[in-house]
Structure 1
Amino acid sequence: MPFAEYSVPENHPEAKRFTSFERVQTPRTGRVLARWCAGMGMLVMLCGFLPWTQNIRSTGTLTTLRPQDRPQTVPSTIAGRIMRWRVKEGQLVQRGDTLVDIAEIKDKYFDPDLLLRTREQLAAKEGSLRENSAKAIALSQQQIALREGLRVSLDKARNKVRQSRLKVLSDSAELVAANTDFAIARQQLDRQEKLYQQGLKSLTEVEQRRLKFQESTAKQQAVANKLGVSQQELINARLELLSLGAEYQDKLAKSESDRRSATAYQFDTEGQIAKMRNEYANLSIRDAFYRITAPQDGYVVRALKQGLGEIIKEGEPIVTVMPSKPQLAAELYVKPMDIPLLSVGRKVRLQFDGWPALVFSGWPGTSFGTFGGVVAVIDNIDSQGQYRVLVIPDPDTEAWPPPLRVGSGVYGWALLDDVPIWYELWRQLNGFPPNFVGKPKETDKLVKADKTENYATAEE
């Protein structure tokens, strides 16, 4: 038996005979150590059955849930030259406050009374349009008068044609009577000549008959000439009737051409007026762009342009403004293998940079300096091999610290299922993923209600 295991009782009779027995003692350290190890082993085994909250660890930064709450650059809508700064970095501004005054650099807009002159040009064009409209109305009335005059003139010409035709008939009847009288006078003259040759009539009677025949001849010729004149008048009346349509048609065509020219000029003027109104509205709006204003309440974070007189281009950013009351959210990045375990409404514990914390990831209730959160958004596409998750404050836990700033670091633990410690150790050693659990319904409804309230506030 080894010496370490040999021992002599104190009441043994041989113990007092030898001095060495008095000096040699059995060591007890091994027994104590063994007992301690056994006790610690039992404690570790018992601790292995304690509950452990599985979690997914991730890091990220603070951002905002609503896009309008994130830092934004205020650009210049038009090109110009910086004339005056009305704010300084770190200053709190209200929506609509003037940040920078700029001056015009395009020669087209140098005239300080350009807006007034454009208004005068617009008024002149509008006056020209009114006068042209009156001209078009006058030409339309002129056409009505010409058509009425044509109707009256045609009636007058038709009456003249009828009068001329009746006169021709009358003159024709007179000519027939004159021809008859001429024939009778000729026969009477012939008989008187025969009787004078026979001595039955005197020379005086013959000469009277000859005078009578000359009068009939002259009357016949006069009536024939009168009939010819009447016929010519009838022809002229018919020609005048025919020419009236052409004459008035020419006048109506000229009046219609003038009216259409006036209408075309009116349409062209209306187009120019619309263009000038557009230009006037653009100038009025452009006049407001000489003062660059704050789009919302916030702090002037950084001036991207310095000094006075610096030239800026259209759309070039000038200052950066951070909204004063953003709705913060933690932007965490999770590995693709862990993203199926997350869902909207999942509880998350967060640690912020600048706030001391004592973290027990498996026992979130015993951690110190961490804050609660709820998963609000999970991206459907990855970002550089990881998925982005937005976490908002948990209304059931302590509020996040007010001094938090956008951009500060965040460490997060997405809380999953509760398992024994021995199972978690076994899972970690074997590289198995955490347990997959369903989406908590009550928390999910709470998050949806909170998001709906946020969106309603954003619309207001």
Structure 2
Amino acid sequence: MASLGGGLDRGGERALVTRGVGLEAIAIEQGSALSKLPCWENVKLSGSMFTASRAILTILLVFLIILEFVPWTQTIQATGKVSAYTPYDRPQKIESRITGRVKAWHIYEGVQVKKGDLVGELEDYDPTYMAPEILPLFEQRKEALEKTRQAALGRADQLNRRIGEMRKLVQAAVPSAEARVVEADNRVREAQQKVEQLKIDVDTAQLNVDRHRQLVRDGLVSQRELELTIQTEIGTKAGLQAAQANLLAAEQARSALNFGRDQITADVNQKLIDAIASRDAAVAEAAKATEQLAEIEYKQQGVQQRIEAAKLYAPMDGTVVRMARVGINETVKQGDNLVTISPLASDPAIEMFADGLDAPLLKPGRKVKILFFGVPAIPLPAWPGLMAGTRSGVIKVVDQIDDGKGNFRFWVVPDPEDPQPWPDQSQVRQGTNVLGWVIMNRVPLWYELWRRFNFFPPDYSEREPSIFEMFAPRSAGQGIK
């Protein structure tokens, strides 16, 4: 090895350390000699690796800058189909209301129809309604029952008049009989009073006879006066017997009058009861005829409705978009879909479904960006203002229950603040699939990645950000007020 004082070693190469005075004179050569060391060859980076490492560091730095400063608008993605918010403006299906065979078609697919137009006719298979003269038969039965009802009502009216007259007769006959009975009662009372008076007279005459007999024995009166007194007593007793006979006759007459009064009342009442029963029977007959008439009317209306059900009418103005593959004389069952009509003018709306995780954020009035299938558009949900070709809408209503699969339905209608209307119905028909993004808050990209990694729901924003706000990111805790 070369000494510290030499400039060259034994191999003739330049020394690594030059000779000097003290430690300050020692210097390390950085030249070609260093590159020729074996360890240097092992750790030396190639030019391509050095360039790649710088590129990776640059990309990583740019990525970190993007994560921190690039804004991201949170959205809730949903799918759905174009429909109509008003049920009347949705496609209507004409179903067969009876089981029968096709008699005739009056329309074809693509034709315009008006509400109430006859589109087809069916023939009923039910034997109850197949009789050709069934409606005239119902009319004949109705006429016969109507005559029976009118006759019964006529009899009831006549009996009502008769009952009224009989009641008047009762009101007149009963007071008359009562008056005769009262008169007989008066005669009986008079006879009773006369009998009582004569009984007193008999007792008085008996006392006079006894007194005169005592006076005759005492010699105070003559025998002639006694005889006259006895004669008076006998006459008084005879008068009493006559009065008692008159009383008995008066009582018998009164009993006869009472019986006659009761007989008259019973006869008149019986006739009145018979008349009332006959009237009630006539009324019952009329009621039965009325019931049968109502039943016939019900059956007739059922037949008419059944006949009318065999005719297919357009429920609205619209276009025939689909017809069943059923030809003339082919059988259809009740409930079979025969014709589908799409309305001409509709209230456009979109029926959309979102996952249950996002359901709490779905509320009426929130903005929605819509991409219609078949309409050229640029879907950039992170920057709604740059989504060319999309349309704006607002949530109209959200269902309070799920669809049975954990998804929630909500309706989206055109945004009245958006100057660009939705595509015409001729371009976007009912049933067209759509993609929708419910606009939420604007946050940095790193926050959005962190939120999705943790399965957190989006933040809510009260309004859609402007173009300037999209590229002026705010902190994750801030929202658009």
TM-score band by shorter chain is: 0.5 to 0.7
**Superposition pairs of residues 392-411 of structure 1, within 5 angstroms:** 392-397=413-418, 398-402=420-424, 403-411=427-435
* Aligned-partner residue type, residue 422 of structure 2: W
- Matched residue, 2:447: 423
CA contact (8 A) 2:376 2:389 kept: yes
**Superposition pairs of residues 1-20 of structure 1, within 5 angstroms:** none
* Aligned-partner residue type, residue 312 of structure 1: V
Supply the distance in 2 between the matched residues of 1:293 and 1:367 (Cα, whole angstroms).
Answer: 45
> By how many angstroms is 1:39 displaced?
6.7
> By how many angstroms is 1:94 displaced?
1.7
Instruction: Give the 3 Å change call, closer, same or farther, for CA 292–38 of structure 1 in structure 2.
Output: same
> By how many angstroms is 1:101 displaced?
0.8
- Matched residue, 1:341: 361
1:40-72 deviation per Cα after TM superposition (whole angstroms, max 9, x unaligned)? 666555544132211222333333323333333
Supply the distance in 1 between the matched residues of 2:456 and 2:55 (Cα, whole angstroms).
Answer: 35
* Aligned-partner residue type, residue 407 of structure 2: Q
- Matched residue, 2:318: 298
Of 348-357 and 312-321, more deviation after overlay is shown by 312-321
Instruction: Give the 3 Å change call, closer, same or farther, for CA 61–261 of structure 1 in structure 2.
Output: same
Supply the distance in 1 between the matched residues of 2:129 and 2:149 (Cα, whole angstroms).
Answer: 27
What SS does the corresponding residue of 1:381 show, helix, strand or coil?
coil
* TM-score, normalised with respect to structure 2: 0.61
- Matched residue, 2:78: 58
User: Which of 460, 464, 468 in structure 2 is aligned with 1:437?
Assistant: 460
- Matched residue, 1:362: 382
* Aligned-partner residue type, residue 323 of structure 1: P
Instruction: Give the 3 Å change call, closer, same or farther, for CA 426–105 of structure 1 in structure 2.
Output: closer
> By how many angstroms is 1:28 displaced?
9.1
* Aligned-partner residue type, residue 430 of structure 2: V
Of 38-47 and 150-159, more deviation after overlay is shown by 150-159
- Matched residue, 1:70: 90
Instruction: Give the 3 Å change call, closer, same or farther, for CA 270–44 of structure 1 in structure 2.
Output: same
> By how many angstroms is 1:157 displaced?
12
CA contact (8 A) 1:299 1:323 kept: yes
> By how many angstroms is 1:150 displaced?
6.4
- Matched residue, 1:385: 406
Instruction: Give the 3 Å change call, closer, same or farther, for CA 240–296 of structure 1 in structure 2.
Output: same
- Matched residue, 2:119: 99
What SS does the corresponding residue of 2:98 show, helix, strand or coil?
coil
- Matched residue, 1:85: 105
What SS does the corresponding residue of 2:368 show, helix, strand or coil?
strand
1:245-282 deviation per Cα after TM superposition (whole angstroms, max 9, x unaligned)? 55444433332221121121122222223333333433
> By how many angstroms is 1:29 displaced?
8.2
What SS does the corresponding residue of 2:400 show, helix, strand or coil?
strand
Instruction: Give the 3 Å change call, closer, same or farther, for CA 35–254 of structure 1 in structure 2.
Output: closer
CA contact (8 A) 2:357 2:457 kept: no
> By how many angstroms is 1:293 displaced?
0.6
Supply the distance in 1 between the matched residues of 2:325 and 2:51 (Cα, whole angstroms).
Answer: 76
Instruction: Give the 3 Å change call, closer, same or farther, for CA 157–373 of structure 1 in structure 2.
Output: closer
1:412-445 deviation per Cα after TM superposition (whole angstroms, max 9, x unaligned)? 22221111234334444x435254226559xxxx
Instruction: Give the 3 Å change call, closer, same or farther, for CA 147–335 of structure 1 in structure 2.
Output: closer
CA contact (8 A) 1:343 1:439 kept: no
RMSD: 4.1
Number of residues of Structure 1 aligned to a counterpart in Structure 2? 354
Supply the distance in 2 between the matched residues of 1:2 and 1:278 (Cα, whole angstroms).
Answer: 120
CA contact (8 A) 1:82 1:308 kept: yes
CA contact (8 A) 1:345 1:440 kept: no
Supply the distance in 2 between the matched residues of 1:332 and 1:320 (Cα, whole angstroms).
Answer: 23
Of 70-79 and 81-90, more deviation after overlay is shown by 70-79
CA contact (8 A) 2:440 2:461 kept: no
Supply the distance in 2 between the matched residues of 1:278 and 1:37 (Cα, whole angstroms).
Answer: 89
Supply the distance in 1 between the matched residues of 2:397 and 2:178 (Cα, whole angstroms).
Answer: 94
What SS does the corresponding residue of 2:409 show, helix, strand or coil?
strand
**Superposition pairs of residues 20-419 of structure 1, within 5 angstroms:** 44=63, 46-48=65-67, 49-146=69-166, 243-304=263-324, 306-383=326-403, 384-397=405-418, 398-402=420-424, 403-419=427-443
> By how many angstroms is 1:302 displaced?
2.4
> By how many angstroms is 1:96 displaced?
1.0
What SS does the corresponding residue of 1:258 show, helix, strand or coil?
helix
> By how many angstroms is 1:346 displaced?
1.8
Which runs of 5 or more residues in structure 2 are unaligned? 1-29, 36-45, 188-248, 465-481
* TM-score, normalised with respect to structure 1: 0.64
1:177-229 deviation per Cα after TM superposition (whole angstroms, max 9, x unaligned)? xxxxxxxxxxxxxxxxxxxxxxxxxxxxxxxxxxxxxxxxxxxxxxxxxxxxx
Supply the distance in 2 between the matched residues of 1:305 and 1:435 (Cα, whole angstroms).
Answer: 49
CA contact (8 A) 1:344 1:439 kept: no
Supply the distance in 2 between the matched residues of 1:145 and 1:262 (Cα, whole angstroms).
Answer: 18
> By how many angstroms is 1:137 displaced?
1.8
What SS does the corresponding residue of 1:90 show, helix, strand or coil?
coil
What SS does the corresponding residue of 1:357 show, helix, strand or coil?
coil
> By how many angstroms is 1:74 displaced?
1.4
What SS does the corresponding residue of 2:148 show, helix, strand or coil?
helix
Instruction: Give the 3 Å change call, closer, same or farther, for CA 270–33 of structure 1 in structure 2.
Output: same
> By how many angstroms is 1:325 displaced?
2.8
1:318-361 deviation per Cα after TM superposition (whole angstroms, max 9, x unaligned)? 22223333333333332222222332222222222222332222
Instruction: Give the 3 Å change call, closer, same or farther, for CA 240–300 of structure 1 in structure 2.
Output: same
Supply the distance in 2 between the matched residues of 1:393 and 1:2 (Cα, whole angstroms).
Answer: 77
CA contact (8 A) 1:56 1:413 kept: yes
* Aligned-partner residue type, residue 63 of structure 1: S
Which runs of 5 or more residues in structure 1 are unaligned? 7-26, 167-229, 442-460
